[in-house]
Amino acid sequence: MTDLSGTWQGSFAYRMIYQDTPFTARIVCREGMVSGTITETRQTEFGFTPDRMEAEIAGTLEGRRVRFTKTYQPAVGLYRTIDYEGALSGDGGAISGTWRTALWSGTFSMQRSEG
């Protein structure tokens, strides 16, 4: 089984407004269970702020299919949880897919960091 454990750099995109938001994911993967944290810069309709946000992730890895829920504590704006679903590349070095909330959706991609 592929091990996603480690540090990943990525970004998520919105369909309409906002810029792509960069993030760092620190993932632990054991026996197909995915957990960890995501750190990102807060963004508003006026651009990025100096504020950093952290969320916990929990999900699964089945073959090359990766699913996880990102949970902010406390809620950020109108949402607290965001569902992600993506596919791991053949070499295990990248994941890309979609994210969604009840009101929003978009795409994301992330690459395994060196070291």
Domains belonging to the chain, first-starting first, are 6-112 (2.40.128.120)
70 burial type by CB count under 10 A (0-12 exposed, 13-18 middle, 19+ buried): buried
Inform me whether the pLDDT recorded for 80 exceeds 90: no
Q: What's the pLDDT tens digit per position in 17-71?
A: 667 888 999 999 999 999 999 998 776 666 566 677 899 999 999 999 999 999 9
CB 51 within 8 A of CB 39: no
Which residue is listed with tokens 């454990």? 5
Question: What is this structure's pTM?
Answer: 0.87
Q: Answer with the residue of higher pLDDT: 3 or 46.
A: 3
Decide if pLDDT at 93 tops 70.
yes
Q: What angle do CA 100, 78, 9 make, to 5 degrees?
A: 50
Asked if 26 and 7 touch (Cβ cutoff 8 Å), the reply is yes
